[in-house]
Structure 1
Amino acid sequence: MGLDDAAVKPHEQLASILAGDMEAVGVLIRERMASEHAPRIPEVTAHLVEAGGKRLRPMLTLAAARLCGYEGTDHVKLAATVEFIHTATLLHDDVVDESSQRRGRPTANLLWDNKSSVLVGDYLFARSFRLMVEPGNLRVLEILSDASAVIAEGEVLQLTAASNLATSEEIYLNVIRGKTAALFSAACEVGGVIAGAPEAQVKALYGYGDALGICFQIVDDFLDYGGAGDGIGKNIGDDFRERKLTLPVIRAIAAADETERDFWKRTIERGRQEEGDLEQALALLAKHGTLDSTRATAIDWAGKAKAAILELPPSELRDVLHDLADYVVERVI
């Protein structure tokens, strides 16, 4: 089932419940991405911010705050902060990955240039830090600034681990916890902190975001070999062509015989890919059942997310966040 084929879509339920807050976030984002002296900044930012993404991360911040009984307005600033951090990392990622497409549209670095993408990303990071300071909560500042560092750390780790057949599942988990899960967990955690929630609830929100983010990335990596092209702006085999060692390939390499290992060395480590290699890679993943095991791992992380969120008080929002974990893995079931 495709991500948007479900009869009930939890992210749409979230958007409906949080409609007023999300409208305020959108207004704030448009205000803060403006630049009096550099019109290219809002041009580049608007291209990505208004590209039709689900804005799941800022919705998690809003939902976490409301779930913990928050009635103020600072959660809107924190949600906008999270979206700015996310957008900045996307701009930088597309330069690093030499990407030409995101969310089915040309990337900013393709439409403008790498320099603009990097510098506008830097600007958005700066704006995010200005926003996260405004609520005056030192712990919120610590969480979001730490997450920003962990995201960058995860990207650098991915660079050093890329194309290295010695990359382990532990290293892979560190990479995706940095590049994806860190912002999910921080987005949830700051919602609880700004609401003044008990420490057990803040910890549960962190655990939910961490597990959901890991599940989200594992599903994305699965789909690259098992059925992408469903509107996420990728084609089957993109990760293979970019020589990324994701979980299905790491497990296939661990189970490989000498001939298979030579294949992975040629295609991933040395980058000498020939016609028919993607089909051969898919055959090896099927032979060793690594797509099935990757699917099972994603479902397991979804289960951890669901268990964590049940530590929060019962409410409609909690039910939607619980369903969201199942929804993320529906693409691989």
Structure 2
Amino acid sequence: MAPQDALSDALSADMAAVNALIRARMASEHAPRIPEVTAHLVEAGGKRLRPLLTLAAARMLGYGGQDHVKLAATVEFIHTATLLHDDVVDESQRRRGRPTANLLWDNKSSVLVGDYLFARSFQLMVETGSLRVLDILANASATIAEGEVLQLTAAQDLKTDEAIYLQVIRGKTAALFAAATEVGGVIAGADERHVTALRDYGDALGIAFQIVDDMLDYGGSATVIGKNTGDDFRERKLTLPLIKAVARATAEERSFWTRVIEKGDQQEGDLAQAMAILARHDAISACRLDALGWAAKAKAAVNSLPEHPLRDILSRLADFVVSRVA
């Protein structure tokens, strides 16, 4: 059984409560489009990985209350809001294998419903009565937005290096993974070293997850990635595979990257040529080594926590994330 499915099974009662809370809080008495747009994305078959991480962290460290359910719903609302906004910014047409909300409705609806979900998430986190939880999730929300803005300026600049890339994905992806696990430990009243280990696990897992996602854009199936292969290339996003290829580029290859990424002059056959250059420089294999390194860091962090069946599943999850590009 895949670790995500094992997590879902182990936390099924908690997850049912989270799903019920999400449905209740995404309702709107005055604007029926809000639950329509939200339901399209929330109920599209996503794995609910981030809320599962919050539930697992809390339960693993002995939490017996119900505030972890509110925090898990909070994390999912923040994630859904960012997806709605991202699809508008990226002009995406597919998400989780389905047409995006901005395609089915419009950009205005996606942006405003995303804003509504952010507001709902802050209402939920306040209800836990923990200022520290509020601080962690508010900081994560700001970091996510900062990462997305940084990506706007860095994505089409061939001077973007691996350090800037790491800063981008730490913001846009890893920040919410880290917050999801950290708040689970905080609400459980865990020892500080355990809270730190949970945060480190989420951070490393999120980085590995995003590196793998960026690799899959150059060879993953649409079923696995939930979008069209080559979307990042068409959107001129300078992700890690391209950054590695650009760093090793010949003069002719650099001219190609300048045309298709910086200038946006893409022609028939350019994606195939890009993938050929990636293969020539073994860029995908190099990315996989990076992802494996981050997965190992995630496992080291979570394995420092007290023994628990959920801890073992979280450790296997780090391996599973990278296995998607085995």
- Which interval holds the TM-score relative to the shorter structure? over 0.9
How far, CA to CA, are the matches of 1:278 and 1:94 in structure 2?
Answer: 21
Q: Which residue in 2 is equivalent to 1:75?
A: 68
Partner of 1:240: 233
Instruction: Please name the residue that 1:287 is paired with.
Output: 280
> TM-score normalized by structure 1?
0.97
Give the aligned length: 326
Q: Deviations over 1:239-295 (max 9, x none)?
A: 111100000100110111111100000010001011111111111111111111001
Specify every segment of 5 or more residues in structure 1 that has no aligned partner in the other structure, as ranges.
Answer: 1-7
Mapped partners of 1:250, 1:187: distance in 2: 29
Q: What SS does the aligned partner of 1:332 have?
A: coil
Cα distance in 1 for partners of 2:162, 2:317 equals: 25
Query: Do 1:163 and 1:243's aligned partners in 2 also have CA atoms closer than 8 Å?
Result: yes
Per-residue Cα deviation, 1:161-194 (whole angstroms, up to 9, x for no partner): 1210000101100110001000000000000000
- CA-CA distance at 1:211 after TM superposition: 0.4
The match for 1:145 among 130, 138, 141 is 138
Would you say 1:103 and 2:116 are equivalent positions? no
Aligned sequence identity (%):
73
Does residue 171 of structure 2 align to residue 178 of structure 1?
Answer: yes
Amino acid at match of 2:69: V
Aligned to 2:217: 224
Displacement over 6 Å in runs of 4+: none
- Find the aligned partners of 1:315 and 1:107 in 2 and give their Cα distance: 39
Quick check: 1:15 aligned with 2:8? yes
* TM-score (normalizing by structure 2): 0.99
Tell me the amino acid that sits aligned with residue 54 of structure 1.
K
Decide whether the 8 Å contact of 1:226 with 1:291 is kept in 2.
Answer: no
Q: Which residue of 2 aligns with 1:24?
A: 17
Task: Identify the residue that residue 118 of structure 2 maps to in structure 1.
Answer: 125
Match 2:80 to one of 83, 87, 90: 87
Equivalent residue, structure 2, for 1:3: none
Measure the CA separation in 1 of the matches of 2:92 and 2:274. 22
Displacement of 1:35 in angstroms is: 0.7
Q: Is the 8 A contact 1:192 1:201 kept in 2?
A: yes
Q: Which amino acid in 1 is paired with 2:110?
A: S
Instruction: Output the CA distance in 2 between the equivalents of 1:215 and 1:296.
Output: 10
Cα RMSD of the aligned pairs, angstroms, is: 0.7
- Which runs of 5 or more residues in structure 2 are unaligned? none
1:285-329 alpha-carbon deviations (Å, 9 max, x no partner): 111111110011111111110000011111100000000001111
**SS at 2:156 equivalent:** coil
Aligned match of 1:314: 307
TM-fit CA distance, 1:93: 0.4
Residue of structure 2 in register with 1:5 after alignment: none
Is the CA contact (8 Å cut-off) linking 2:217 and 2:225 kept in structure 1? no
